[in-house]
Amino acid sequence: MGSQGPVVLGVDSSTQSTKVLAVDANSGAVLAKGQAPHTVSTGAGRETDPEVWWGALRDALAQIGEYAARAEAVSVGGQQHGLVVLDAQGSPLRPALLWNDVRSAPQAEALVARYGADWWARRFGSVPGASFTVTKWAWLAEHEPAVAQGAHAVRLPHDFLTERLSGAAVTDRGDASGTGWWATESESYDEKLLAEAGLDPALLPAVLGAGEAAGTVREGLPLRAGALVAAGTGDNAAAALGLGIAPGQAVLSLGTSGTVYSVARRRPADESGIVAGFASADGGWLPLACTLNCTLAVDKVAALLGREREQVEPGGSVAFLPFLDGERTPNLPYASGLLTGLRHETTAGQVLQGAYDGAVYALLGALDQVLAVDGDSAGGEPLLLIGGGARGVAWRETVRRLSGRPVQVPEAQELVALGAAVQAAALLTGEEPGAIARRWGTAAGPTYEAVPRDEETLGRLAAAMPLAATR
């Protein structure tokens, strides 16, 4: 297959796999795709050997053949927050602690108690939870002090791959803002905090600004040597680049966890901890909130009921908060699922619809907090639904019914990798990433008009929430 423009590569190194898209920088057409799986531990924590990511990237590049050899620029979007510690040769000292490894919850609580939530929000834009890298370093220093003391470099997942491609020890402001040690107030590492954590700033990557290059591809890789390597970014920031969203637009990502975000004109600083005040990859801000229980929780309920995920039924009187793994937004880490309002006439399909309702209710509550950063309410702009759940009719219709807002489902797939490709193309052409995304038409897709909000269901869920908070 031929290409009319230069080829750029976008990488999505997620928890479960690495994907590579070869994209025509002029049209945005996806020319080829490669994918290779990761191995994630299922023991006491969630870990992956970073060498698995590197092997998967090489395998995925090999699958796109000639396009890897022709690519003129590449960018890596990666899972946020993970902790990678390297020896003097750049090899991992232990498996990476992933974002969803919650063993550092006690360290997160201790860090917030020590400095105060308002201090964290004011300086770093976010109040750290167990996902943040600063808490994982505290866990490592406490439980594996020899590893912490022997570290010659500390990286985020996407940094590790960028460095393997280019040899440059760099990160970007978007991913750095999720560490808990890069202060969004000053846009620099907080050396006092690092000193108290026993972490030498020299071990950390340099933070590049929007549009800056990490370097060029090294010799000896299944990729054209000399191709430009972008700074890369975290997965949510990459997806935002891929969609080209503007202030007032909101994204609901329906995956294993649910994520809501927008772009903001002003720096977020939410001391409640609900909104993470991340930087965006294009130089702005990306207020974001995350719920733990989304598609996986609803699929579990469907399996328990012996129903397919789309076999929902309207009506009924149930209120279901499917907090099967505790919950992050609202902050109820020790909660369990709560089902109320059962009657003799309640059907299994109504219970399943109740699980959808509860998951979307939590997401929309988080969305209101995200949009409040800029004082927006999303106005008449459609909510952009992405992620695996966005293809499901039950998810889409539940969002419409409980939000009362129009919904748009972009047809583009692999938005993290596509956003990384946008960043690579911007590095190559000098254009603004948003202009490239709009030219590529990445957000194009069917729009579904607003319907009246289901106030009755919302009221039942609001009444149930205090019960969940006591569990």
Q: What tokens were used for 393?
A: 């009719």
Nearest to 179 by CA among 254, 291, 104: 104
For position 2, what pLDDT does the model report?
46
Quote the tokens at residue 105: 């919850």
Q: What is the length of the chain?
A: 471
* Cβ-Cβ contacts under 8 Å for 401 (sequence gap 6 or more): 451, 453, 454, 457
pLDDT at residue 209 in the model: 93
pLDDT at site 3: 46
From first to last of the 471 residues of the chain, give the pLDDT tens digit. Answer: 444 789 999 999 998 899 999 999 999 999 999 999 999 887 778 999 999 999 999 999 999 999 999 999 999 999 999 999 999 999 999 999 998 888 999 999 999 999 999 999 999 999 998 889 999 999 999 999 999 999 999 999 999 999 999 999 999 999 999 999 999 999 999 999 999 999 999 999 999 999 999 999 999 998 999 999 999 999 999 999 999 998 888 999 998 889 999 998 889 988 888 899 999 999 999 999 988 899 999 999 999 999 999 999 999 999 999 998 888 788 787 789 999 999 999 999 999 999 999 999 999 998 988 988 876 555 568 999 998 899 999 999 999 999 999 999 999 989 999 999 999 999 999 999 999 999 999 999 999 999 999 999 999 999 999 888 765
How far apart, in Å, are the Cα atoms of 58 and each of 82, 222, 388?
21, 7, 25
CB atoms within 10 A of CB 29: 14
Burial class (CB in 10 A: 0-12, 13-18, 19+), 300: middle
Question: Distance from CA of residue 213 to its chain's centroid?
Answer: 22
Strand duo 276-279 + 153-155: pairing: unpaired
What's the rounded Cα separation, in Å, for the pair 254 and 120? 28
Residues belonging to the active site: 235
- Would you say 330 and 323 are in contact if contact means Cβ atoms under 8 Å apart? no
The answer to whether 179 touches 128, Cβ cutoff 8 Å, is no
* Alpha carbon distance, N-terminus to C-terminus of the chain: 57
- Which helix (H) or strand (E) element contains residue 400? helix 393-403
Give residue 277's pLDDT.
93
